Structure 1
Amino acid sequence: MDTDEYRARVERVYADDPAQWKVAIGPELWFEFGVYDGESGSLDDVGQRYFDQQLELAGLHEGATVNRILDVGFGWGTTLAHMAKRFPGCTRLDGVNISETQIRYAAARLAESGVDDRVHLYRCDARDISHLPDQDPPYDLVIFRGSIAHFTDGTLEAAVAAVSARTRAGSTVLISDPLYTVPTDRYSSAMTDETDRLACGNRKTLSALIAVLERHGFSVADIRELPSNADSVRWLMDVKANIDEHFPIDRPRALQEMADVSVNLAAAMDRGLAAVYSVVARRRPEPA
């Protein structure tokens, strides 16, 4: 499948009314798992807790000096809105996305939050980050949360290469995504059909991701299973329970696929074949 065809598939996943997704994953639309730490909590609470933990692991405490941020695949704008408040001194936050529905929603929520003067949204494929305006200043922080799962191998390679060209020595790349612990050609899904649910069929291993980062000038500073598998499975089951409760019949296709993926990915995690990883990488200095 060529890149344009796969891009269209990803766009279809997020074409539905964001209100439907709010019912499934929480009103604030924290879409990338959550940290429970043995406590109860809303999906919004655990989602924000996870992102804040990642930022702390990267040494980016509240109010830290960050001059420019890029969020690759920013979803409904949740992380951009959060970072605009966490780093009030950051004068430029850029976000790229290919979903027109998500871009419109994010633009409205950012305006409502009063941070739209600092946030710039672009309808842009991750492969084309090099074409974003204003080469200077370079990005201090680049976020990939839940977006790499949608990338073809070629898109991942091109995106990381483009990010490398738009960052400086010491810049941080922060990643969260489900990754596989066995070679993808040896992975056997619990679902026997070949449907590419949620346009996440291009599975990636942890080792493959690290190799791409290293090829393009990044060194891994921190890597860990975060959230824990128990928390990741709990998040998936909470999302599925919301879908089952609020859409018992005639549910939107994307939410049906989300429910299916929740069961399938949880099974892979229980078998030790996949986990959600938090990765912090730093841009290496250019060779002398």
Structure 2
Amino acid sequence: MADAARRLTALAEEVLGAPLPVRIRAWDGSEAGPPTASGGDTPSVPTLVLHRRRALHRLLWRPGELGLARAWVAGDLDIDGDLYQALDLLAGLLWERPAVHRGRAAPAALRALGDPRLRAAARSLLALAGPGLPPPPPREEVRVRRGPLHTLRRDKDAIHHHYDVGNAFYELVLGPSMVYSCAYWDDVDGTPTLEAAQYAKLDLICRKLALQPGQRLLDVGCGWGSMVLHAAREYGVRAVGITLSEEQAAYARKRVAEAGLTDRVEIRVQDYRLLTDGPFDAVSSIGMAEHVGSTRYTEYAAVLHRLLVPGGRLLNHQIARRPEPDEEAYRVDAFIDRYVFPDGELAPVGRTVGQLEEAGFEVRDVEAIREHYALTLRRWVANLEANWVAAVRATSPGRARVWRLYMAASAVSFERNRIGVDQVLAVRTPDSGVSGMPLRARDWRG
């Protein structure tokens, strides 16, 4: 009698020390776990589907989040049912247990090798998996990286991994706005279109920067050019957008030409550290600072301060993590680092504000908008799922699976307050002390 699912459920609960909140369906057709809804055959919770024994090999060789991620990306493991519900149910066991705090992916039980009970569970799992060497990581995984973090070359390679996966793929996911950062919604239901919410976000940033016709704007990490296009078209500025992605730059230049704005918008493939043609009246950095890293953030803030005219404003839109009890123990999320944002780092918003101030900025406003990002991510996932065949054709099955998991898991993280996102408005206040800011908060134009 096929019973792999029952055995797996028992072993998982032995290791985790808690009931498994999802059902399991194994490669032999067996199923076990929480019961189906009363009166029908539909499971009351999502089902974790292990298509092949290879999924167990991945978990045995890399217990915890990385093993699960590899199994998911390779198609060895799937979710039957609501993906968001599954991630929400598993969050308490995998990502929010005290032992996995600060990025420790494997539960403490899996590292307690001296426990005879757990050794026995591991032997049983190995017997169930069968013989075999560890399977190679899926090809979508970042391979070995060498050298110091956040050099010019290494940062360019990291950006290439994430953004140069095909503009056609991003068109399917992001929609016509081609904005790859948190939108700004009117209500918690997210009833406006994604394009309207992204327009509202870009316009909010322009108003916070108090842009005026003829001013010079720098957009750091300009993506596909949406911010510089909006600022030039709606506010009459001259804009420079910089990116490290060749594919993004080519796409943005085409959009600028089609909009008839080549006389006012310039797109460059350039690192912010190499900019020498300041000053600018305003700087926007939208979803870029997560790539900077803690070792370079002070330099990042100092460079942007130097590039601004006295009285110029910076709008820094950045994802934040919650402070850790022991900041020295913080580790980057294994799945995100290997498959999504190589070398990316998140910092608490308090640290970001402090580093901007240390660089000479006067921080005038911090707006937390984490719920907005959850709504945005759910729209992106819906776009991806609705265009799944085309998305796979534009990249690869593994890459599409990476993006579906990363965006859905990120939505759950924002909803559960594991991470947030903040718009920090700062000013290079001149020595006179006249900041040019309005007396009343959030009356951005004064």
Could you tell me the TM-score, scaled by structure 1's length?
0.85
Which residue identity does 1:278 align to in structure 2?
Q
1:48 pairs, out of 190, 194, 199, with: 199
2:425 pairs, out of 277, 280, 286, with: 280
Could you tell me the TM-score, scaled by structure 2's length?
0.57
Which residue identity does 2:183 align to in structure 1?
G
2:182 pairs, out of 33, 46, 65, with: 33
Measured against aligned partners, the alpha-carbon deviations of 1:157-183 in whole angstroms (never above 9, x if no partner) come to 322212211212210001212111223
Secondary structure at 1:199 match in 2:
coil
Whose strand fraction is larger, Structure 1's or Structure 2's?
1
1:116 pairs, out of 238, 248, 262, with: 262
Once the 2 structures are TM-superposed, how far is the Cα of residue 49 of structure 1 from its aligned partner? 0.9
Q: Does the 8 Å contact 1:225/1:277 carry over to 2?
A: yes
Separation in structure 2 between the aligned mates of residue 231 and residue 193 of structure 1, nearest angstrom: 21
Once the 2 structures are TM-superposed, how far is the Cα of residue 50 of structure 1 from its aligned partner? 1.6
Q: Does the 8 Å contact 2:185/2:197 carry over to 1?
A: yes
CA change 1:191–1:260 in 2 (3 A) is farther
Secondary structure at 2:423 match in 1:
strand
CA change 1:190–1:140 in 2 (3 A) is closer
Q: Does the 8 Å contact 1:189/1:268 carry over to 2?
A: no
Q: Does the 8 Å contact 1:128/1:159 carry over to 2?
A: no
Once the 2 structures are TM-superposed, how far is the Cα of residue 82 of structure 1 from its aligned partner? 0.5
Aligned-pair identity (%): 22
Q: Does the 8 Å contact 1:210/1:220 carry over to 2?
A: yes
Q: Does 1:6 align with 2:151?
A: no
After the TM superposition, which residues 212-231 of structure 1 pair with which residues of structure 2 at under 5 Å, given as runs? 212-226=355-369, 229-231=370-372
Q: Does the 8 Å contact 1:72/1:96 carry over to 2?
A: yes
Separation in structure 2 between the aligned mates of residue 126 and residue 190 of structure 1, nearest angstrom: 25
After the TM superposition, which residues 101-250 of structure 1 pair with which residues of structure 2 at under 5 Å, given as runs? 101-129=247-275, 131=276, 133=277, 135=278, 138-183=279-324, 195-199=338-342, 201-226=344-369, 229-247=370-388, 250=392
After the TM superposition, which residues 59-138 of structure 1 pair with which residues of structure 2 at under 5 Å, given as runs? 59-60=210-211, 64-65=212-213, 67-88=215-236, 90=237, 92-129=238-275, 131=276, 133=277, 135=278, 138=279
Separation in structure 2 between the aligned mates of residue 263 and residue 77 of structure 1, nearest angstrom: 25
Which residue identity does 1:51 align to in structure 2?
L
Which residue identity does 2:206 align to in structure 1?
L
Separation in structure 1 between the aligned mates of residue 329 and residue 318 of structure 2, nearest angstrom: 20
CA change 1:44–1:278 in 2 (3 A) is same
Measured against aligned partners, the alpha-carbon deviations of 1:256-287 in whole angstroms (never above 9, x if no partner) come to 43323223322322332211111111012248
Greater length-normalized contact order (CA 8 Å, ≥ 6 residues apart): 1
Q: Does the 8 Å contact 2:208/2:315 carry over to 1?
A: no
Separation in structure 1 between the aligned mates of residue 315 and residue 399 of structure 2, nearest angstrom: 27
Separation in structure 2 between the aligned mates of residue 194 and residue 99 of structure 1, nearest angstrom: 18
Measured against aligned partners, the alpha-carbon deviations of 1:47-88 in whole angstroms (never above 9, x if no partner) come to 11122123334444xxx3451110100000111111101222
Separation in structure 1 between the aligned mates of residue 228 and residue 240 of structure 2, nearest angstrom: 8
Separation in structure 2 between the aligned mates of residue 121 and residue 210 of structure 1, nearest angstrom: 28
Once the 2 structures are TM-superposed, how far is the Cα of residue 10 of structure 1 from its aligned partner? 1.2
CA change 1:246–1:86 in 2 (3 A) is same
**When the two structures are aligned, how many residues end up with a matched partner?**
276
Separation in structure 2 between the aligned mates of residue 187 and residue 245 of structure 1, nearest angstrom: 36
1:271 pairs, out of 393, 416, 441, with: 416
Secondary structure at 1:51 match in 2:
helix
Q: Does the 8 Å contact 2:317/2:422 carry over to 1?
A: yes
Greater shift, 179-188 or 237-246, is seen at 179-188
Which residue identity does 2:267 align to in structure 1?
L
Which residue identity does 1:221 align to in structure 2?
R
- Return the index of the structure with the highest Cα Rg: 2
* CA RMSD after TM alignment: 2.6
Once the 2 structures are TM-superposed, how far is the Cα of residue 200 of structure 1 from its aligned partner? 6.2
Q: Does the 8 Å contact 1:15/1:99 carry over to 2?
A: yes
